[in-house]
Structure 1
Amino acid sequence: MRIGIVTPVVVQLPGVHSEWERSAGIEEIGLIAEAADRLGYHHLTCSEHVAIPAPVAEERGGTYWDPLATLGYLAARTRRIRLATQVLVLGYHHPLAVAKRYGTLDRISGGRLTLGLGVGSLKEEFELLGASFEGRGPRADEAIAALRAALSQREPEFHGEFYDFSGFVVEPHARQERVPMWIGGRTARSLRRAVTYGDGWVPFGLPFDRLSEMVGEADLPAGFEVVLATGRALDPIGAPDIAARALERVRDAGATVAGVTIAAASAENYVEQLQALRDLGIGMGISFGTQDGSAE
């Protein structure tokens, strides 16, 4: 198992984010990204919402940095950590728009994009953006297939019910021959979608026993990633035993990658926590990269 970071500041969920994040900006995020990169963490994340209805923001939060702008900036401040959208809402974009924008990100980052994708659930946001909420599942399935056909191609071609294109040049396009796609969701259907179309599954809002059951019952292909959140903000300096148990729980549930939120008092303290978590993880046999890019 490897550990990725749920990037602080860029998403501020009520009751989850730390107080210092409210006044932090891109310099603090960059400092943390550089440390995570140096210490061999697997990935950084950035989610997507365009506009949250005010009543919904009380529950989901209202701060969501744009993933393309944010990850583009962090690409310039890092060398090898992966940059993961977690997640883009498929219904908000044409597949070729994603292929161009995020293919460019893959190019400028040296092939470090992981494209996390989701069907979406916020009806008001769909309606605001003029996107179809009804039938979004089948449309998302086809959008993923269209993306797979387009991301790494100069002249992509795809013919489907919702999306149909050929004879167009998309340049630049992704550097990776196969951009990893992690599919978000919390249902058995989302896991089937991930196995059928993607390279990993990023579930949310499910208890660990249910996650373990679903992963155990699925026929997962070789190299398929199961990306599970630890479910609490970890404090590896102040409470290392609790942090270790949280990592053990996701590993026992079948995670190949743990998505970790870290408790901190400041950006500088966050960096100290990253070092402590790395030390703790290495002692548990968790894989981290080294400065030369090898595993440790």
Structure 2
Amino acid sequence: MKFALAASGMDNYPPAMAPWEPHAGREEILRYAKKADSLSWDWLTIPEHVIMPNAMVEHMGTRFVEGITAASVLMGATERIHMLTFVLVLPYRHPLLLAKQIATMEFIAGGRFTLGTAVGHLQHEFDCLNVPFEKRGAMADEYIAALKEVWTSDKPKFDGEFVKFGDFVFEPKPVQKPHPPIFIGGNSKPAMRRAAKFGDGWIPWLVTAEDLPECIKYMKSLPEFEAKKDTFEFMCTTTAYNVNDAHIDKGETHISADRDSVLREVESLKKAGATSVQVRPPRLPTFEACLEWIEWYDKEIIPQFR
């Protein structure tokens, strides 16, 4: 099993936010990342939204970082740990620009980046960015293909509906070969098909240990999955978010903190087929207590699943 730790201070998502997080800034964010880097966590996960519609502030909060900028800063502040955008909405960026940003980070930091991406769900965000919401699925599929082309080809060329390019060179290439891993987010069957066809992993966020076996069975039935079955990552969050797909609360979100409960959660996901988990620390009252908890988790939980 691999373990991804949700970065701190990057959002203020009401269902899971600790009381100290709205006041967190540079010092807390960098100390947290460096602490995780000094331990055995595999990834830091980085949330993202460009804007937050007023109608969604109650449910999603106001603070969300931009994923590529945040990943760059944290990669510069760390030596070992990988960054994972969780998730970057792919249609918001031209794939050539995104490919260059990621390749630049990889070149300087020695790899250490995983692109967690999805089609997006906030239509108002699409409208503000002048991106057609109804075409987001087709755009995402084409953008992934364009990213792979420019990252892997000596003479990149692409002729799609949304992207056309050619007659240039592209360097630096990414350090990770053949390209940085791409994990696809989303709970729906289209998201699963996209992950099986284009991705190196799947990162749903409302799929439980009870749901997961059927999802994996479906993905393994897809012909595109066969070639990647030995390396594909199924990453599920250990946080039992009690919200619907629109982030509307259905009740209190529970985050386990004690050893027995945490062990049971990870073990149930492992038995269900997860190869990695994303962990969000519980709502501890202080930042220092949070640092102690992620160190405790590293010593008491992670070694049980290595």
Q: Same fold (TM over 0.5)?
A: yes
Give, in angstroms, the shift of residue 164 of structure 1: 1.4
User: 1:29-40 residue pairs with structure 2 within 5 A?
Assistant: 29-40=29-40
Local SS of the residue matching 1:134: helix
The residue that corresponds to 2:135 in the other structure is 135
The residue that corresponds to 1:268 in the other structure is 288
AA paired with 1:171?
E
Give, in angstroms, the shift of residue 131 of structure 1: 0.4
Give, in angstroms, the shift of residue 204 of structure 1: 1.9
User: 1:188-267 residue pairs with structure 2 within 5 A?
Assistant: 188-219=189-220, 220=225, 221-232=229-240, 234=255, 236=257, 239-263=258-282, 264-267=284-287
Local SS of the residue matching 1:156: coil
Preserved contact between residue 202 and residue 228 of structure 1 (Cα < 8 Å): yes
AA paired with 1:163?
V
What are the Cα deviations for residues 210-268 of structure 1, in whole angstroms up to 9, with x where unaligned? 222111332242200011000246554xx211111121222122111100000233332
AA paired with 1:206?
V
Q: TM-score, normalised by structure 2?
A: 0.88
State how far apart, in whole Å, the 1-side matches of 2:153 and 2:298 are: 37
Preserved contact between residue 42 and residue 82 of structure 1 (Cα < 8 Å): yes
The 1:183/1:282 distance shift into structure 2, 3 A limit, reads: closer
Preserved contact between residue 103 and residue 152 of structure 1 (Cα < 8 Å): no
Give, in angstroms, the shift of residue 15 of structure 1: 2.4
Preserved contact between residue 185 and residue 202 of structure 1 (Cα < 8 Å): yes
What are the Cα deviations for residues 153-172 of structure 1, in whole angstroms up to 9, with x where unaligned? 56522222221111123333
Q: TM-score, normalised by structure 1?
A: 0.90
Q: Which moved more, 1:145-154 or 1:89-98?
A: 145-154
State how far apart, in whole Å, the 1-side matches of 2:295 and 2:11 are: 22
Give, in angstroms, the shift of residue 115 of structure 1: 0.5
AA paired with 1:211?
L
Preserved contact between residue 259 and residue 301 of structure 2 (Cα < 8 Å): no
The residue that corresponds to 1:93 in the other structure is 93
Preserved contact between residue 7 and residue 46 of structure 2 (Cα < 8 Å): yes
Preserved contact between residue 207 and residue 236 of structure 2 (Cα < 8 Å): no
State how far apart, in whole Å, the 1-side matches of 2:303 and 2:82 are: 23
Preserved contact between residue 151 and residue 173 of structure 1 (Cα < 8 Å): yes
Local SS of the residue matching 2:161: coil
State how far apart, in whole Å, the 1-side matches of 2:217 and 2:34 are: 36
State how far apart, in whole Å, the 1-side matches of 2:87 and 2:49 are: 9
- For structure 2, the residue ranges without an aligned partner over 5 or more in a row are 241-253
State how far apart, in whole Å, the 2-side matches of 1:163 and 1:85 are: 23
Give, in angstroms, the shift of residue 6 of structure 1: 1.1
Verify: 1:160 aligned to 2:160, yes or no. Answer: yes
State how far apart, in whole Å, the 2-side matches of 1:86 and 1:20 are: 21
Give, in angstroms, the shift of residue 146 of structure 1: 0.9
Identity of aligned residues (%): 35
Local SS of the residue matching 1:117: strand
State how far apart, in whole Å, the 1-side matches of 2:292 and 2:156 are: 45
Aligned residues: 284
State how far apart, in whole Å, the 2-side matches of 1:244 and 1:132 are: 43
